[in-house]
Amino acid sequence: MESEAKNVIRVGSRKSELALIQTNFVIDSLKKLYPEKEFTIVSMTTLGDRVLNVSLPKIGEKSLFTKDLEDALRNDSVDFVVHSLKDLPTTLPDGLAIGAVFEREDPRDALVLHDDFKDHTLSTLPEGSVIGTSSLRRTAQLRGRYPQLVVSDVRGNLNTRLAKLQAGQYAALLLASAGLQRMGWSDKISKVLPCAEMKYAVGQGALAVECRADNWPVLAMLAPYNHADTYCRILAERSFLKTLGGGCSAPVGVSTSLKQLDTQFQLSITGAVWSMDGVTKLEHSLQQTFAQIKTTQKHKLSPTEEQECKKIKTDDDTSKVLKSSEKSGNTSDLTAPEFKIDDRIFCGLTANACMPIDVIIKCDNLGKDLANALIEKGALEVMKVTQDYIRNSTAAKQS
């Protein structure tokens, strides 16, 4: 490609202000390690951006905010794209993969109150107060815990939603805390909701970089930024959701933590499924321990702290040693670590080159085990009611 000859990396992004802030954050991070690279942003709107008069689950498309970007990847119009990880389905189109997940921001939801109710909480808002959200997960939890409140759909980017709030259409909004923080609007947050009150979406708060699964130069370039702690948590979450068969078509929420306990690390995950009215709730928690989550204790969580990562060894032939300076058909003089890239994919995620493969497999299995535990409690039956309702609503709208 001409762009490769010129050492240019084309980066796909949605056009919203938040999406561009997130994309520029990724680019600025990469420039620290690859200063001779030139990055150009190719922005576009997605189906989720264009259709604003229908609630997200009823649009009837799984990849609302990602399909247009992924089409650009597949036809080689861009080299990688930056997503909010929660928007990415757990199964990606053939030939695509997540090359890196950057360090996660606070994944919890935030309550943003109208000025008239700034001294209130969800529990003290007047009966009949309207809460805006486009999420089935948030809707079900609100209805179950605060039946005196009215939950109403709200669409549009963050700027649009906040404008609707200030116009008095809502008493409050529920939004992802991470998005508000990245926009520099932390002062608008009335309260960050604890996980005991509001489980968050799978992958919420993390940025994902998606690329072609066979684009080894880009994969190697991204490898140093694949944040180990974040990777453990979001892999377990995505494995849970994939096994459960959820997505945006059912109220499913999680909370995860990764803590060091003496000489070991403990990954904890709680998953829950709700009925649409929030009355039925199924919840389960599991833990997994690891001796180490990175291939060396000295390795830091970010290449800005330490730019080297040891190779990992695998017991099969599915890996490739590659420097990020390698390119298909030509080379450049990048000074970057050498990685041994394992080409296995876990819920759309490439194997993290800075983590032992057995840790990755255990995280994947932890999510599966959690989903199966909820399935035994009747989760599929609870989810089917919601999915049938959405399917019928979508069919009625299209007819």
What residues are annotated to the active site?
Answer: 87
Long-range contacts of 164-169 (CB under 8 A, 24+ apart): 164/132, 165/112, 165/114, 165/132, 166/114, 166/115, 168/114, 168/116, 169/130, 169/132
Quote the CA–CA distance of 25 and 206 in Å, as a whole number.
12
150-152: strand order across its sheet: 150-152, 130-132, 172-176, 109-113, 191-192
Torsion angle of alpha carbons 260, 343, 332, 32, nearest 10°? -20
Torsion angle of alpha carbons 332, 333, 339, 341, nearest 10°? 0
Question: Which residues share a beta bridge with 350?
Answer: 345
